[in-house]
Amino acid sequence: MPTKDSVKIAPPEGKLGVLIPGMGAVASTFIAGVEAVKAGWALPIGSVTQMGTVRLGKRTDGRSPRVKDFVPLASLNDLVIGGWDIFEDNTYEAALKAGVLDKGHVEKVKGPLSAIKPMKAVFDPEFVRRLNGPNVKQGGSKMDKARMVMDDIENFRKTSGASRLVMVWCGSTEVHHLPAEVHQTLANFERGLEKNDPGIAPSQIYAYAALKMGVPHANGAPNLTTDVPAFLELAREHQAPICGKDFKTGQTLMNTIIAPGLKARMLGLTGWFSTNILGNRDGEVLDDPASFKTKEVTKLSVLEHILQPEIYPELYKDFYHVVRINYYPPRGDAKEGWDNIDIFGWMGYPMQIKVDFLCRDSILAAPLVLDLILFLDLAQRAGMKGVQEWLSFYFKGPMTAPGLYPEHDIFIQLMKLKNTLRWMRGEELITHLGLEYYD
361 vs 389 by CB, closer to ligand NAD: 361
CB of 121 to ligand NAD, least distance (A): 4
46 vs 271 by CB, closer to ligand NAD: 46
Distance CA 222, CA 395 (A): 9
CB of 413 to ligand NAD, least distance (A): 16
Distance CA 279, CA 27 (A): 17
Q: Is the Cβ–Cβ distance between 304 and 407 less than 8 Å?
A: no
29 vs 380 by CB, closer to ligand NAD: 29
Sequence-separated (6 or more) residues with CB below 8 Å from residue 432? none
413 vs 419 by CB, closer to ligand NAD: 413
392 vs 419 by CB, closer to ligand NAD: 392
CB of 412 to ligand NAD, least distance (A): 20
φ, ψ of residue 360 in degrees (nearest 5): -115, 100
123 vs 375 by CB, closer to ligand NAD: 123
CB of 371 to ligand NAD, least distance (A): 14
CB of 342 to ligand NAD, least distance (A): 26
Distance CA 301, CA 314 (A): 19
Write 187-194 long-range contacts (CB < 8 A, 24+). Answer: 188/230, 189/230, 189/231, 189/234, 190/143, 192/142, 193/141, 193/142, 193/143, 193/146, 194/141, 194/142, 194/143
288 vs 427 by CB, closer to ligand NAD: 288
CB of 264 to ligand NAD, least distance (A): 26
247 vs 327 by CB, closer to ligand NAD: 247
CB of 316 to ligand NAD, least distance (A): 25
CB of 137 to ligand NAD, least distance (A): 9
36 vs 201 by CB, closer to ligand NAD: 201
Task: Give the chain as a 3 state SS string.
Answer: CCCCCCCCCCCCCCEEEEEEECCCHHHHHHHHHHHHHHHCCCCCCCCHHHHCECCECCHHHCECCEHHHHCCCCCHHHEEEEEEECCCCCHHHHHHHHCCCCHHHHHHCHHHHHCCCCEEECCCCCCCCCCCCCCECCCCCHHHHHHHHHHHHHHHHHHHCEEEEEEEECCCCCCCCCCCHHHCCHHHHHHHHHCCCCCCCHHHHHHHHHHHCCCCEEECCCCCCCCCHHHHHHHHHCCCEEEECCECCHHHHHHHHHHHHHHHCCCEEEEEEEEEEECCHHHHHHCCHHHHHHHHHHHHHHHHHHHCCCCCHHHHCCCEEEEEEEECHHHCCEEEEEEEEEEECHHHCEEEEEEEEEEEHHHHHHHHHHHHHHHHHHHHHCCCCEECHHHHHHECCCCCCCCCCCCCCHHHHHHHHHHHHHHHCCCCCCCCCCHHHHC
CB of 330 to ligand NAD, least distance (A): 17
28 vs 388 by CB, closer to ligand NAD: 28
83 vs 268 by CB, closer to ligand NAD: 83
CB of 282 to ligand NAD, least distance (A): 4
122 vs 378 by CB, closer to ligand NAD: 122
CB of 114 to ligand NAD, least distance (A): 17
In the bound state, the residue with its beta carbon closest to ligand NAD is 24
Which positions touch ligand NAD (CB under 6 A)?
Answer: 21-26, 84-87, 98, 121-123, 128, 131, 133, 170-173, 202, 220-221, 246-247, 249-250, 280-282, 361-362, 364-365
Rg (CA), the chain: 22
CB of 51 to ligand NAD, least distance (A): 19
